[in-house]
Structure formats: structure tokens, C-alpha cells
Structure 1
């Protein structure tokens, strides 16, 4: 299956170096809007076709969008072909190291994903130059509500414009990567990925649902999931039972998955 890059081909010439709110004011990049919600084009089109793991967030934020646009402009002006421009833009803006990466690797290793892929650790999936991981978003292009980064409200599946984005672009990525493991980061991204399961584009068994978001701000939930903190030591804000259930369920799920192990 070939990816549809019509939007990228049309709008790449419109990209100019940008910063912050200037990006949101570029009406030539406006893909859609409805009341308080607007969708702006930024070059997040690239799909890593060899990926064995797909990591799904909600939508690119403003800072990511600006980084992607500026990287694309530099690559375009250097004369690179479209697909290389898109790849450089996506790699520049994709989530990188720090506490989030460490937490993600620890949780994937703990539930057996490294073993499933025949690795000593899933950190190897994220090595420089790796094409084993595809980073994407439930809503591929940046979404803003009242000019602020979309945080999952209003519900994307109950908002026609946003639901179309899931059923168009995220669905395209599911068709391009039908055999990868899909890891939604948090409940909002998970609802979009599970929508694709209901549409028959992904199998329930290949979706790693229920893992806590790996951000540093979520440290307590990650620690309980990993068994680094006892359930009885959890704060009032954290319910240990769902985390322990998710760990047991995901460990069992990964151990029974058939398919790519090397």
C-alpha cells in the first residue's frame, strides 16, 4: 500500500521558518476549523514502514510543530526529495530521551516486549538511526482549542472533525503497519487506537492498552506498575489496582503474541 502524500506535496512549498504563535497564524496551513477548534498542517506525514512498535500520543504540540516545520524548511531548501524532507522533519520533532524514554523502556521490558522481539532491552529499538519504532499521534496534525494545545477535550471520537482525522490518517497508518505492536500513551490516545480495532483495522491482541503514560510527571503510577513501589504506599491520587491488573494482563498478552520476534 502506498501512502497518500497529497497534503504534504501541496503544502510543503507554503512552509516558512516560524516561531510560536506565528505558526498558528499561517492560514495557508489551516487544514480545518470548527468553532474553537483548529487544525494546522505541520510535516508529521512520515511513516516508518519497517517499524515493529508504534508509539501513539494525542497530537503534536505547538513546540513540536514549530520544530518540524523549521526542519522541513531546511531540508526542502537543501534540495532533498519530499520523502526525505518529511522523514527529517518527523525525526527532529519526535519524542526523545530523558525520564519519559527511560520509563517507557522499563515498562516495555517489564511486560516482555524485549523478549518478544528477541532483544536484551527495548532501549535497542530507540538507538540512533533505528527504524524499528514509529512515533505518531491519534490526531496526526496539530490541533488547537482556543489557540492552546489540544489535551483530549472535547472527546475526539465525539467531535466529527477530529473523528475524521482518526479515521483518515491514523487509519492509514494502521493499514501501513498492520503487524506492529501499537502502544497508545494514555487513555485519550488509547480510545483512538481501540476505535481502529473496532473498525477492524487492528487486532486487539496487538494493542498494548492500559500502560501508564511514561512521563516524569506520572512517576508514581509508573513505579507501582513496575513494582518499584508497594501498593499500600500509593498516594490518594493513585489507585494501584488498575495498574497491577494492567501489568498482569499486558505481560500475559505479550507472552502469547505470535509474529515478529526478531
Structure 2
């Protein structure tokens, strides 16, 4: 269910080209603000219930927010139907930048292309987007002191606001995309999904809990990945062989 109509007038008022924080960190897009934390709208409400793979990040960062809003503006000007705008924005912006490259490399190395019958994991973000659902522990961009929230200060589960977003939005997504292998990226997201599983809301069998976050800022990413790669390969094979 898209909310694009609610934000349509403001998005159309934005100028063409790249958008700055000053243009997007505005009251018209603000969903929540308290002390140093702010949460903003982004057109990310599309859910691919037929996906075979579900990848969960922490929260969209500014790069993803800017791309998604810019994509939505162009689509609104071009007359793209409202029910397609979120889907197109998410396809363009999800894990955009170096994160997507790092993520694709890891997905290839745990054997996903073979079990999904595709040439490489990059196709999940291109022609075979039908196989993939991307989302975040907190669907909407979260910023602290104007910088991307990293999932740790505070931890999502220790914040009533952030954990509330996860329960109200992420949990229903997990239940709706019920045939997908779930890959939470990094410790902060894994903790949220594990908490759902411990409450009996989700099967642990469908979750790969050891995938490191693909951010370039995660200096331990490669070491963490190598430690768990064999186990993840086995779990991928078992899930898709069931």
C-alpha cells in the first residue's frame, strides 16, 4: 500500500537533479523526531510476496533516500501509476552504491545463483528482481545528528520507537513473504530477526544469521564472512532443497 499521494505535491516541488540533505531533511517528509534522531518518508512500501529471497538491511541511508525520492519525482512527472512508483524506487535504490557490489559478491559465494537457477546474484537486482524482496529492520531512513543510523546507538531493540517500527512493519513483511530465505545483514538486524524467532513468530530455519553487513565501513566484513561461509552455503542448499 503506497502513501505516494500524500507526499506527491512536495516531491513534485523538488528541483531536477541530485538532491541535498537540506532539500530532503524537511518537515514535509518528517515522520518522527526526538532529540538527535529523525525518521523520514521514502517510497519503499512495495512488498514482493512471491520472492524466494528476502534481504534485510538496517535502514535506508541518505544515498538510498535521495535516489528513491528522485526516482519517484521522475515517475510522477512521467505519469507512472502510483502502485508502481514504490516498486521502481526500491529497485533502483535498495543497497545502492558499493554496498550492492559487496552484497552481490557474498551472495554468489554462498551458492545462491545455483539454487535459484540464475547466472549470478547481480540479476536479482536487475532482470530477476521478481525473486528478491529487499527491506530494512526500520523501513524508513533514520538519522542521528544528521548522519546515517548504524543500528548500534541505541540498538534497535532498546529503542521503543525503532523496535515499534520493526514489529509493525518488518514482522508483517516477513510473514507475507513466507516462502523466502531470509538474510538479515549484520548483527544489529540479526538481533531483531532472532528476537522475532524466539517469540515464535518466525522459523529460525529460514534465516541466515551470520551474513555480515556489506557496508564498506564494516572493516571486519571479509573475515566474518569467511568464518561462516561454509555453514551459510549448507543452509542455502538445505532451504532450497526442502
Partner of 1:169: 169
Distance 1:224 1:206, change over 3 A: closer
The aligned runs of 1:60-79 (5 Å cut-off) are: 60-79=60-79
Larger Rg, first or second structure (1 or 2) = 1
- Which residue number in structure 2 is paired with residue 10 of structure 1? 6
Give runs of aligned pairs for residues 1-262 of structure 1, distance below 5 A: 4-5=1-2, 7-15=3-11, 16-17=13-14, 18-24=19-25, 26-96=26-96, 100-119=99-118, 121-128=120-127, 130-152=129-151, 153-216=153-216, 221-222=221-222, 225-226=225-226, 243=227, 246-257=228-239
Q: What SS does the corresponding residue of 1:257 show, helix, strand or coil? A: helix
Distance of aligned partners of 1:214 and 1:27 in 2 relative to their CA distance in 1, 3 Å threshold:
closer
What residue number does 1:239 align with?
none
Cα distance in 1, alignment partners of residues 21 and 106 from structure 2: 33
Which whole-Å CA distance do the structure 2 matches of 1:96 and 1:29 have between them? 21
Q: CA deviation at 1:119?
A: 4.3
1: CA distance, partners of 2:120 / 2:71: 30
Q: Sort the Cα spacing of 1:195 and 1:251 in 2 relative to 1 into closer, same or farther, 3 A.
A: same
Q: CA deviation at 1:89?
A: 1.6
C-alpha spacing 1:219/1:101, structure 2 compared with 1 (3 Å): farther
> For the residues of structure 1 that align with 2:143 and 2:40, how far apart are their CA atoms?
8
Structure-2 separation of matches of 1:64 and 1:106: 20
- Structure 2: tracts of 5 or more residues without a match: none
Residue-pair matches, total: 236
Structure 1 residue 222 displacement after superposition: 2.3
**Secondary structure of 1:107's match?**
helix
Structure 1's 255 and 93: CA in aligned 2 closer, same or farther, altered over 3 A? closer
TM-score by length of 1: 0.78
Q: Please give the secondary structure, in 2, of the residue aligned with 1:135.
A: strand
Quick one: distance in 2 between partners of 1:9 and 1:201? 33
182-191 or 13-22, which moves further after superposition?
13-22
Contact kept? 2:91, 2:129, Cα under 8 Å:
no
* Aligned Cα root-mean-square deviation (Å): 2.6
Q: Tell me if the contact between 1:34 and 1:161 (Cα under 8 Å) persists in the aligned partners.
A: no
Distance (whole Å) between structure 2 residues aligned to residue 111 and residue 129 of structure 1: 18
**Unpaired segments ≥5 residues, structure 1:** 227-242
SS at match of 1:60: coil
Q: Find the aligned partners of 2:159 and 2:217 in 1 and give their Cα distance.
A: 28
Report the Cα offset of residue 160 of structure 1: 0.5
Preserved contact between residue 20 and residue 63 of structure 1 (Cα < 8 Å):
no
Pick closer, same or farther for the CA change 1:10–1:108 going to 2, 3 Å: same
Contact 1:104–1:214 under 8 Å retained in 2: yes
Assess, with a 3 A threshold, how the Cα gap between structure 1 residues 259 and 180 changes in structure 2: closer, same or farther: farther
